[in-house]
Structure 1
C-alpha cells in the first residue's frame, strides 16, 4: 500500500467513527469507538467503509443494526475483517492486478446496495404479490413520516364485503372507515392548471440540436436565478470571471465531472451560468449540512480564485426559490376523496388482473371522486406479457376493464402514462394516451391538474430514485427522521421542476424542446410520485408528497381533503393520507 493511503487510514478520528455510526442509528460508547478505531488502523479501512461492512454483516447474521457490542465486534473481526485480509494477501501473491479490479467492483456494488437499502428501495424488478422485503429489513429507514412508526391492520366492511388491509403509512389523522366512504353528492370538474404547461398531443422528437438545448438550459438558469435574487437580501453577486479574496455570493449550477468513475464530492464543479461561461472547482469541506444534485441551481457564500475555485462557508437556504401556491380560492363544498395507484399492475410473469380488479371493486364501493392511475400499464420490463400477449390488445383490455368498473358512476379515472409503457413513446415529457373511454381522463406525464382550486402534480418517472443515485449529501449532528427524503422532495419545489437532474438518468429520454412542460409555475398542494423507494406521505414546505409504491406489490393510497372554501395557500393541515396494502 502506498504511503499516502496508509496515512489516510491513520487519520481516522473518533468523530469520523461516530458520524459513520450515526447514519445507521448506532449510539456507541467511548470504549466501542476506540475499538472500532483500532480496527480501522489494523485493517486499513476508513470509518464509513468499516461501519458499512458491519451493517452488511449484521444483516446476514440477523442482528439489529444498532446492536454493536464487543462480543459481536470480535465475531465481525474474525469472520469478515481477518478473512478478507488473508484472502486479499493470497490473491495479491497470485494475480495482484486482477484481484484489485475485482475488489473495486465488489466494493462499488456493496456501497450501492447499502445506499438503496437505507432508503428502503427494492432493487429487483421482480415484483411479487406478497412482498416482505421492507417489513423485515433492519436497515434504518429514512422515509418514515411522523405518523408512520407503526403498521396496523384494518378490516373494513363495504356493502357486506370485507376488505382486509394493512396501513403501511399515514399522514394527518387516522380516520374512521365511514369517513372514507363517499356519497358523491357533488361532482368536481378536472382540468389542467395551465394549458401552457400541459402536453396536449403527440409531437415530433429528437429534432433538437445541442446549441438550442444550451439556450433553453440558459434560459431556465436565468429564470431560477432571478427568483433567487428577488427573494434574497443580497445587493450584489460574484462572477466567476473575477477573483474575489473576500466572501461574496455566487449563483450557479452544480455539475458533475466524473472522470474516474467514482462518486464523491471531488468530482463536483460549479458552473457560473451563461454570462461567465466558466466552471470552477468546488471544495465543500467547510459545509456540514447539504444535499446537492447535478443540475441544481444553488447559491454559495464563498471566496474565489481561478486556481482553487470556490470554498463555500455557507449554502443559502434553497427555499427562497420555491414558488408561491396558486392564488385561486379553493371551492370544496364536500371533502375531496382520491384513490391513487401506480404500475406495474401485474406481478412478474403473469397477466393476472386480480389486484386491479380488487382495487376497482374497492373504488366502486367507496366512491372517491377520482382514481389516479399512473403507468406503466404495459410494462416493458415484464417479459411474460411481452411474449404472451398482443400489446395493443392488452392495453385496450385494461382501459376497457377500468371503464367498465366505473361505468354508471360519477367516478373518473385519471390515466397517466409512464416511460416504461411499451405501447407509448418513451420520451419525457410524454403526451397522453390516445383513445376514447367515457370514464377516463387521459393526462400527460408529468401533469399539473386543478380540481376545485386544488393543484395536484403527478409524475410517473422515478425521479426520487434517480436523484438518490446522483445525490451528494452530508448531515451533522442527529438528523430528524426522514430528513434526506425531505431534502430530495424539496429539490423539486426549489428548482421549480418535475425533473431537476441534469444530465438526466439514462432511463429518461428528455426532450428539451418541451422543457417548459416539466416546469412548476406554482407550488402544488399535492405532489403524487411513484418510486421503487419505500412508500411515504409527508409535508414538505406546505406541499404534501405521496409515494404509493406499485399495485403489483399490493400498495395503493387514499387521500381525503377536508371542505375548504375561499382558502388560499397550503392545505397540509387539512389533508389525510393512508397508504394501504391489500
Structure 2
C-alpha cells in the first residue's frame, strides 16, 4: 500500500522529503478517510494549489495542514448530504417574525414582483435607493436577518497585485474616500464608454443540440490532427509528417493525439500516440518518453513527435512539440488546388491596430452563498463597481448554481428565473449611466439554462439596456477598445490539473497554473465533453487574445503568458490570463479581479480582491 501511495505521488510530480514518516501518515489517512492512493495524491495536489505552496516536495510539516484540509472536506461533504427534512432553529423563527413586519415597512421603489415571487421578496430581491438607483451606499439586501456573510469584518482586501502602481492608495483609504464622497458629485464624473464588438457567430438560445453522431465526433478529432500537421509544415520548421506505426531505424517526424491505454490516470507507461487516418489509418502506437528531458501531456493533446520506431510497436521520442505557431491556417479545409495557391501567403495573424486602454471588473459565480438566495456578494460587487466605475463589468456564471445545496436536494419550490432577477443588473447600468457595459457569460452549472458545451447565450428581455447588457455564448470572444478578450466558464484548469503528467528539468520554471493555461492556447481549443453539431468553430481559437479569462475552483491568479506566435524563433506574444476565483465560497465571500489593461504589459495592473 505504501509503495502504491509513493507511485501515485510520483505520477503527479510530487516527491516525498522524509519518505518513511510521510508514507506512514498517508497510509493512516487512507484508512481513516477511505481514500485510495490516487485519490490521496490528487487531494494533496489540490491542497498545494489552494495554499499556494511553492515547489513539488511534500515535507512532514505539510501533513498537519493536509489533515485539517481532509477533515474540512469530509465535513463539507456531510453538510451537503443533509437529510431533506428541515430542523427549525431560532434563525427560522426570526425570519418568520420579520415577515410579519412587511406591512409596516417603508415602501421602496424597485422591480415589480409578480405572482408567487412576492412570497420571496425579502430573500431574493435587492433593495434600491431613491429614484430606483443602486448606489454603493444604498445597495443592500432587503432583509433584517443577519447572515454569516454580513457578519464578516474584512471587506475588499487585496490578496495579490500585478504591477502595483507606486501612487496607488491602499484599499482601506480607497474605501473610506469612496464612502465619504458625495453621491451627486460621483455620478456626474465624466467616464468614457468603451467600444465593443462581439467576435464570431453567436449560438441562439433556442438552438437544438444532442444531434451529433459518433462518425462526426471521429471526423472532428481526425481533422484536429490534420489541422495541426498542416500548421507544423506551414511553419517551415518541420517536414511532412510520416506514419509513427511503421518500423524504421531513422528518426522521423510524426503528428498525433495523446491517448491512454486504459481507463486509469495517464502515466509514462500508458501513453499512446494516435495518428491521423491520412498518415497511419488512425492506428495507435505506444510512446516511449524516457529520453525526453521535458514534457507535459494530457489525453486529447495533439503533439508533434520526433523519434524512431525500431520494432514497429513502440515509438521512442527524442523531441516533442506541443505548441504550434499561430499561422493563418484557413487553407487546411480547402481543396488541394486552392491550398497550394495560398501556401505562399501564410503569415502570422496580427491585429490591424494596437489595443487601447480598458478598465474591467471580472467576477465569476456563484453570486450567492450556500446558506441562502440573498445574493449578498453580488450586491457588494455592484456597490464596488458603482464606486470604481469600470468601463466593463464581466460577470460569468453560474448565476443560479445547480450545485447550491437547496437546489441539489430539490428544496426550492420556485422557478429559477425568480431566484435571480436580471432586472438588478438593469437597475445598476441605469444608475451608472450610458457609458457602463455589463457582459454576461453562462455556465453549464447554470440551473435552468442549456446543459451543453458550447453553450448558447442567455435570452435577455431588456430593450432599454440592450446596448449596455450584452450576453455572450460560452466560450465567447469579443473586442473592447480593440482589446481581444476570450472567456470560458468551463473549469478547464481543474480538468487539466487532474489529467496532466509532466517532467520539469531542474532550474526550469515550475509555474503549473501558467503551464495549464498555456495548454489551452497551444492546442487552440477546449477538449472537453461537447456537442460538435452546434458550432465546431466556437471551440477553436483563431488568434491569441490579449486577455484570457478562465474561472476555476483552483486558487485565483493573474499571470502573463508567453506564447510562440510565428515560425521565427524567439518571437513571442504576451497574453494576460485571469482566474478571478469564485465570488462566493460556502457561506462566505470569495474573490474577484480589478484590471486596468494597457497595451504595454508593464503598465497593465491588476488586483485580486477578496470580497
Shared fold by TM > 0.5? yes
SS at match of 1:539: strand
Separation in structure 1 between the aligned mates of residue 35 and residue 67 of structure 2, nearest angstrom? 25
- The equivalent residue for 1:291 is 296
- The equivalent residue for 1:567 is none
CA deviation map 1:447-497 (0-9, x unaligned): 010112110001000001011111121212144242x22221111111111
- The equivalent residue for 2:39 is 109
Change (3 A) 1:423 1:281: same
Matched, 1:191 2:188: no
Separation in structure 2 between the aligned mates of residue 110 and residue 178 of structure 1, nearest angstrom? 43
- The equivalent residue for 2:416 is 392
Spell out the pairing of 1:197-236 with structure 2 (5 A cutoff). Answer: 198-236=202-240
Structure 2 counterpart of 1:273, from 273, 276, 285 = 276
- The equivalent residue for 2:567 is none
The 8 Å contact of residues 455 and 475 in structure 2, kept in 1 or not, is answered as: yes
Matched, 1:523 2:544: yes
Matched, 1:546 2:549: no
Once the two structures are TM-superposed, the CA of residue 330 in structure 1 deviates from its matched residue by 3.2
The 8 Å contact of residues 224 and 321 in structure 1, kept in 2 or not, is answered as: no
Matched, 1:428 2:449: no
CA deviation map 1:303-334 (0-9, x unaligned): 014543211011126253578564221363xx
Structure 2 counterpart of 1:252, from 246, 251, 256 = 256
Once the two structures are TM-superposed, the CA of residue 165 in structure 1 deviates from its matched residue by 2.4
Which region of structure 1 is more displaced relative to structure 2, 213-222 or 542-551? 213-222
The 8 Å contact of residues 538 and 544 in structure 1, kept in 2 or not, is answered as: yes
Gaps of 5+ in 2: 53-61, 69-134, 139-152, 179-185, 329-347, 563-573
Structure 2 counterpart of 1:490, from 515, 518, 521 = 518
Separation in structure 1 between the aligned mates of residue 371 and residue 304 of structure 2, nearest angstrom? 48
Separation in structure 2 between the aligned mates of residue 489 and residue 45 of structure 1, nearest angstrom? 30
- The equivalent residue for 1:29 is none
The 8 Å contact of residues 272 and 278 in structure 1, kept in 2 or not, is answered as: yes
- The equivalent residue for 2:396 is 374
Once the two structures are TM-superposed, the CA of residue 512 in structure 1 deviates from its matched residue by 4.8
The 8 Å contact of residues 304 and 310 in structure 1, kept in 2 or not, is answered as: yes
SS at match of 1:282: strand
SS at match of 1:318: coil
Separation in structure 1 between the aligned mates of residue 243 and residue 21 of structure 2, nearest angstrom? 56
Separation in structure 2 between the aligned mates of residue 325 and residue 577 of structure 1, nearest angstrom? 27
Once the two structures are TM-superposed, the CA of residue 288 in structure 1 deviates from its matched residue by 2.7
Structure 1 counterpart of 2:351, from 304, 312, 327 = 327
Separation in structure 2 between the aligned mates of residue 472 and residue 417 of structure 1, nearest angstrom? 30
Matched, 1:417 2:442: yes
Separation in structure 1 between the aligned mates of residue 454 and residue 20 of structure 2, nearest angstrom? 54
SS at match of 1:494: helix
- The equivalent residue for 2:156 is 165
Question: Please, what is the CA RMSD of the aligned residues?
Answer: 3.7
| TM-score, normalised via structure 1 length | 0.71
Separation in structure 2 between the aligned mates of residue 272 and residue 50 of structure 1, nearest angstrom? 31
- The equivalent residue for 2:243 is 239
Separation in structure 2 between the aligned mates of residue 45 and residue 227 of structure 1, nearest angstrom? 41
Once the two structures are TM-superposed, the CA of residue 428 in structure 1 deviates from its matched residue by 0.5
Once the two structures are TM-superposed, the CA of residue 391 in structure 1 deviates from its matched residue by 3.1
Change (3 A) 1:322 1:458: farther
Spell out the pairing of 1:288-367 with structure 2 (5 A cutoff). Answer: 288-305=293-310, 307-316=312-321, 318-320=323-325, 324=348, 326-330=350-354, 332=356, 335-367=357-389
SS at match of 1:403: helix
Separation in structure 1 between the aligned mates of residue 9 and residue 246 of structure 2, nearest angstrom? 43
Size of the aligned set, in residue pairs, is 460
- The equivalent residue for 1:14 is none
Change (3 A) 1:311 1:103: farther
| TM-score, normalised via structure 2 length | 0.68
Separation in structure 1 between the aligned mates of residue 4 and residue 472 of structure 2, nearest angstrom? 51
- The equivalent residue for 1:22 is none
Matched, 1:532 2:553: yes
- The equivalent residue for 1:456 is 485
Once the two structures are TM-superposed, the CA of residue 267 in structure 1 deviates from its matched residue by 2.1
Separation in structure 2 between the aligned mates of residue 396 and residue 246 of structure 1, nearest angstrom? 63
Separation in structure 2 between the aligned mates of residue 242 and residue 159 of structure 1, nearest angstrom? 68
Change (3 A) 1:489 1:244: same
CA deviation map 1:138-174 (0-9, x unaligned): 99xxxxxxxxxxxxxxxxxx99999942222222234
Separation in structure 2 between the aligned mates of residue 257 and residue 472 of structure 1, nearest angstrom? 15
The 8 Å contact of residues 454 and 474 in structure 2, kept in 1 or not, is answered as: yes
